Amino acid sequence: MNTMLYFSNRHTMSEAMPDLYPTSEINDTAYNEFFSTHFPDGNVTNTIYEDCDLDREMDSAAAGTGLAFVVFTQAIVELPASPFWSIIFFLMLLALGLGSQIGTMEGVVSTVFESPFFHSIKKEYLTGV
């Protein structure tokens, strides 16, 4: 369950029905009971409530950047010692980015270095500039 949407829905419940659902008394049981009673099929589209089903969110985000920043992130949160794995995951993404940047830069520098105008300049100086 998406925690941010869960709290947003709790707030909406307390605003829509303050006598029945004061904010301080909406616990997980009352929340689940409300949604199972009012939305038995789980469909909250075209209502004031937001869908906070993590499985649906992960199904729609399991490609491209959603795969790296939604699905893998949720998997890392579930692992024991998750701060360690989060740091390792970030370092992996950083290494992938730097590797791609160095490959691209090498292609550009090699092309420029082979031109007759820059042929007399050392490759290290050209790369540094």
Q: Has residue 62 got a pLDDT over 60?
A: no
> Which pLDDT score, from 0 to 100, does residue 63 have?
61
pLDDT digits 0-9 by tens, 2-45? 566 666 767 777 777 766 666 666 777 776 777 677 776 666 66
Q: Which residues of 67-104 are buried (b: 16+ CB within 10 A; e: fewer)?
A: eeebbeeeebeeeeeeeebeeebeeeeeeeeeeeeeee
Chain centroid to CA 127? 35
> Which pLDDT score, from 0 to 100, does residue 94 have?
93
Give me 93's structure tokens.
């993404």
Q: Which domain holds residue 51?
A: 3-80
> Which pLDDT score, from 0 to 100, does residue 50 have?
67
Residue 20 lies in a domain: yes
pLDDT digits 0-9 by tens, 71-101? 777 778 888 988 898 899 889 989 999 999 9
> Which pLDDT score, from 0 to 100, does residue 95 have?
94
pTM: 0.42
Q: How many domains does the chain have?
A: 1
Residue 124 lies in a domain: no
Residue 59 lies in a domain: yes
